[in-house]
Amino acid sequence: MARFSVTTPLYYVNARPHIGSAYTTMAADALARFARLRGDQVLLVTGTDEHGQKIQRTAQERGVAPQVHCDEMVREFQALWEKLNIRWQRFSRTTDPRHGVIVREFFQKVWERGDIYLHQQQGWYCVACEEFKDERELLPGQFCPLHPHLQVEWRDEPNYFFRLSRYQAQLEDLYQSQPDFIQPETRRNEVLKFVSQGLADFSISRLHLDWGFPVPVDPNQVIYVWFDALLGYVTALLEVEEEPSLAQAVKTWWPVDVHLIGKDILRFHAVYWPAMLLSAELPLPKRIFAHGFLTKDGQKMSKSLGNIIDPFYLVAEYGSDALRYYFLKEIELGKDGDFNEERFIQTVNADLANDLGNLLNRTLKLVHKYCDGKVPPVNVLPDDPLRLLGQDLGAQVAEAYQHFALHRACGLPLALAQRANKWIDEQAPWQLAKTGAQADLEAVLYRLLEAVRLAAYLLSPVIPQTSTRIYQQLGYEVDFDQDPPSDYDRHGRWGALPVGQPVAQPEPVFARIGIPKVIKS
């Protein structure tokens, strides 16, 4: 059995989860579900990054201990993932004592390699980014370009540094020999440009901070949050009862198949992380895929504009399948995307309520009326556009997932449902019944049922609840959340619907969204 592993970022818990983190996690979940559909053994890792000065300050502002703050935020993330129907296998927390063991062991390996040294750090530091900024990057008045409402702070203190510069040639060889290591190509080009300018060693410790793991060789300093957090991917691979060690953590699931991240943290994952792993003589992840940013109605989301989208509100109003479908179909993974409420409602109503739901409803009524409520014989049809469209659909969707083209993985099955909706009107099976053309009627109805079945199966990684309802009405005892039919070679091909299988009475599989709601922030 093949294995597939995917990680989301370990989300920073300075605040409740936002729509951007929800987007990444929905995409990762769809990738994991499709691999499971193919029969792979799957591991989806998500979790939280809980150390650093930003967390400490946020907790102080709230008047609670940092651990209390982190625990509260973790519950928020886990609650949202449940509501969005995310099926993770591991939830990694960087405050876990087992993670501390991994971080210390990793630090020791890099220290013994001679890649860590003490040096005076001077520069502008953005607490929100947890990163030193080159003065050329700053906005007028020493404001961070990513957080233009926050001024950076001048730091002048002794820190421990990682010899990133030592790994420039190896990283350049990596990017050259494995051109798909960083995807999409636009993000790869960004990294190549950054690295070509020359890599500088970076600070991996902080002074005058107590919210983090102490540096093993100097308890007066704590390990830099990013050096700590990236190792959370490794800690997550430990079995529950396993004694924590690097050897145990990497023995089965490392290296992971893909780190799915936002483009704002690309440098940490595509430059710093591989260099750290090279230093510790550990295998590198197979791929890093960085998606774009989300906007609302064409504008960047910000508190000052009052257009922050609350994902808890969205999922409560519209349900998880609607959100998953819109964000994964309408936004090409890797590019920036926009959320517009009117377009969202139009899309899910047209695609899920009409093209899928209405097609099933109409066809089941005809099957009960003319075929005794059972899947009719296939029979031969001289004109068979649905079979032609569907016969290679499983392979096409698999290829789309392989290339992280989730918008295409959604669009291809939908195109089959859309063609079936036109075809039912062209063939007019109710007229065939009136003229006594029973064989042709049965052939048409079989193809309509099979079209909606195949579309539902291939869309199940994105809309598992809707696909479950469709499959159950077609007579299957299936739950795509709990036990999806993983015989992809059969269910992912045209013609899998068994002749004679009893079908259920039609019921709505996706509730049409009515009057537009006002998106709350």
Confidence of residue 303 (pLDDT cuts 50, 70, 90): low
Domain range for 435: 341-491
Region 115-129: what's the mean pLDDT?
A: 86
Cβ contacts of 387 within 8 Å, gap of 6 or more: 447, 494, 495
Q: C-alpha angle 323/328/333, rounded to 5°?
A: 140
Region 293-317: what's the mean pLDDT?
A: 83
Closest CA to 32 of 46, 17, 42: 42
Confidence of residue 508 (pLDDT cuts 50, 70, 90): very high
pLDDT of 502 over the 70 cut: yes
β-bridge partners, 45: 7, 90
Q: C-alpha angle 15/276/45, rounded to 5°?
A: 45
Closest CA to 89 of 28, 38, 2: 28
Reading the block at residue 236, the tokens are 């997550």
pLDDT of 516 over the 60 cut: no
pLDDT of 45 over the 90 cut: yes
Closest CA to 520 of 299, 315, 293: 315
pLDDT digits (tens, 9 = 90+) for 442-478: 999 999 999 999 999 999 999 999 999 999 999 999 9
pLDDT of 78 over the 80 cut: yes
Reading the block at residue 431, the tokens are 């007229």
Whether omega for the bond prior to residue 140 falls within 30 degrees of 0, making it cis, is no
Is 7 domain-assigned?
no
Closest CA to 167 of 212, 215, 114, 231: 114
β-bridge partners, 221: 207
Is 91 domain-assigned?
no
Is 132 domain-assigned?
no
DSSP states along 61-118: HHTS-HHHHHHHHHHHHHHHHHHTT---SEEEETT-HHHHHHHHHHHHHHHHTT-EEE
Write down the pLDDT at residue 302.
66
Window from 22-36, 340-354, 502-516 with minimum mean pLDDT: 502-516
Q: Is 447 helix (H, G, I), strand (E, B) or coil?
A: helix
Is 368 domain-assigned?
yes
Q: Is 373 helix (H, G, I), strand (E, B) or coil?
A: coil
Region 480-506: what's the mean pLDDT?
A: 94
pLDDT of 164 over the 50 cut: yes
pLDDT digits (tens, 9 = 90+) for 48-63: 999 998 899 999 999 9
pLDDT of 441 over the 60 cut: yes
d(C-alpha 247, C-alpha 257), whole Å: 19
d(C-alpha 175, C-alpha 192), whole Å: 8
Confidence of residue 305 (pLDDT cuts 50, 70, 90): low
Is 247 buried (19+), middle (13-18) or exposed (0-12) by CB count in 10 A? exposed
Is 349 domain-assigned?
yes
Higher-confidence position of 11 and 150: 11
Strand positions, DSSP E, 136-257: 153-162, 182-183, 202-203, 205-207, 214-215, 218-223
Show the 3-state SS of 308-357: CCCHHHHHHHHCHHHHHHHHHHHCCCCCCEEECHHHHHHHHHHHHHHHHH
Region 64-93: what's the mean pLDDT?
A: 98
d(C-alpha 296, C-alpha 282), whole Å: 41
Region 136-140: what's the mean pLDDT?
A: 83
d(C-alpha 466, C-alpha 325), whole Å: 11
Q: C-alpha angle 131/132/136, rounded to 5°?
A: 125
Reading the block at residue 109, the tokens are 């390996």
Write down the pLDDT at residue 309.
87
Confidence of residue 499 (pLDDT cuts 50, 70, 90): very high
pLDDT of 413 over the 70 cut: yes
- Residue 374 CB: number of other CB atoms within 10 A? 15
Domain count, the chain: 1
Region 246-255: what's the mean pLDDT?
A: 97
Strand positions, DSSP E, 234-298: 258-262, 288-291, 294-296
Q: Is 511 left (phi over 0), alpha (psi -120 to 50) or beta?
A: beta
Closest CA to 233 of 487, 463, 5: 5
Element (H, E) at 197: none
Is 478 domain-assigned?
yes
Region 158-163: what's the mean pLDDT?
A: 96
Q: Do 133 and 122 meet the contact criterion of CB atoms below 8 Å apart?
A: no
pLDDT of 275 over the 50 cut: yes
Is 350 domain-assigned?
yes
Window from 49-63, 88-102, 142-156, 362-376 with minimum mean pLDDT: 142-156
Region 111-136: what's the mean pLDDT?
A: 86
Write down the pLDDT at residue 521.
45
Distance of CA 278 to the CA centre of its chain: 26
Reduced to 3 DSSP states, what percent helix, strand and coil does the chain have, rounded to the nearest 5?
A: 50, 15, 35
Which CATH number characterizes residue 444's domain? 1.10.730.10
- Average pLDDT over the chain, rounded to whole? 94
Higher-confidence position of 135 and 51: 51
Write down the pLDDT at residue 304.
59
Cβ contacts of 25 within 8 Å, gap of 6 or more: 8, 46, 81, 84, 86
Element (H, E) at 45: strand 41-49
- Residue 270 CB: number of other CB atoms within 10 A? 27
Write down the pLDDT at residue 515.
64
pTM of the model as a whole: 0.94
pLDDT of 248 over the 90 cut: yes
* Residues of the chain above pLDDT 70, percent: 98
d(C-alpha 474, C-alpha 470), whole Å: 6
Note the helical H segments in 148-238.
168-177, 185-196, 225-229, 232-235
Is 475 domain-assigned?
yes
